[in-house]
Amino acid sequence: MKTVTVNIVTPDGPVYDSEVSMVVAKTTSGEIGVLAGHIPTVAPLAIGAVKLKKADGSTELAAVSGGFIEVRPDKISILAPSAEVASTIDIARAKEALARAEERVQKQKTDNIDFKRADLSLKRALNRINVHQGNI
Ligand code: ATP
């Protein structure tokens, strides 16, 4: 099967660079599956998992917190505000972030806290937990 280079880049630097046979990512309008030779496309990403299917049949997972996927026939670039491959996710940190975000979402009605911000933080934390656990 043909392969394509995938880069995942954040403001802190690159977090992934490898040859894969397929990428599945969550765009803001639904899941996109991309094979080598795909026509050029750019799409905004939701907070979600990116599945990186290797030629040997294995799959790696990354947690991505939005950004864009840029597809070219020989290269796929994912540019995200933050992204982590599953093995680098600090699960304790994600669980603490989830607890903080849940508390902020619950207090929202009484305190005037930015609900959208708390909700995004909650989604990032849940996504990291799911990706770490391979639960996607
Ligand atoms: P936290 O409240 O724990 O900082 P956050 O969702 O606000 O979580 P981000 O702003 O998305 O964090 O990311 C800030 C930096 O920390 C990024 O480089 C991101 O990759 C890293 N990061 C955040 N949470 C984790 C985690 N659980 N494991 C590994 N790296 C993480």
Range of the domain at 115: 90-133
Q: Beta 22-27 vs 41-44: how paired, if at all? A: unpaired
Verify whether ligand 1 is closer than 6 Å to residue 84 (CB atom). Answer: yes
CA distance 128 to 83: 9
Verify whether ligand 1 is closer than 6 Å to residue 132 (CB atom). Answer: no
Q: How many CA atoms lie within 13 A of 17 on its CB side?
A: 5
Residue 112 C-alpha to ligand 1 middle, in angstroms?
Answer: 24
- Which atom of ligand 1 is closest in space to residue 91's alpha carbon? 27
Q: In CATH, what number is assigned to the domain containing residue 119? A: 1.20.5.440
Q: Are residues 72 and 14 in the same domain?
A: yes
Q: Are residues 12 and 62 in the same domain?
A: yes
CA distance 45 to 47: 7
pLDDT at residue 106, rounded to an integer: 85
Q: Are residues 68 and 100 in the same domain?
A: no
Q: Are residues 98 and 47 in the same domain?
A: no
pLDDT at residue 109, rounded to an integer: 67
Verify whether ligand 1 is closer than 6 Å to residue 21 (CB atom). Answer: no
pLDDT at residue 110, rounded to an integer: 65
Q: In CATH, what number is assigned to the domain containing residue 65? A: 2.60.15.10
Q: Are residues 50 and 112 in the same domain?
A: no
pLDDT at residue 134, rounded to an integer: 95
pLDDT at residue 123, rounded to an integer: 97
Q: Are residues 80 and 112 in the same domain?
A: no
Verify whether ligand 1 is closer than 6 Å to residue 62 (CB atom). Answer: no
pLDDT digits (tens), the chain, 136 positions: 799 999 999 999 999 999 999 999 999 999 999 999 999 999 999 999 999 999 999 999 999 999 999 999 899 999 999 999 999 999 999 999 999 999 988 887 666 667 888 999 999 999 999 999 998 8
Q: Are residues 73 and 105 in the same domain?
A: no
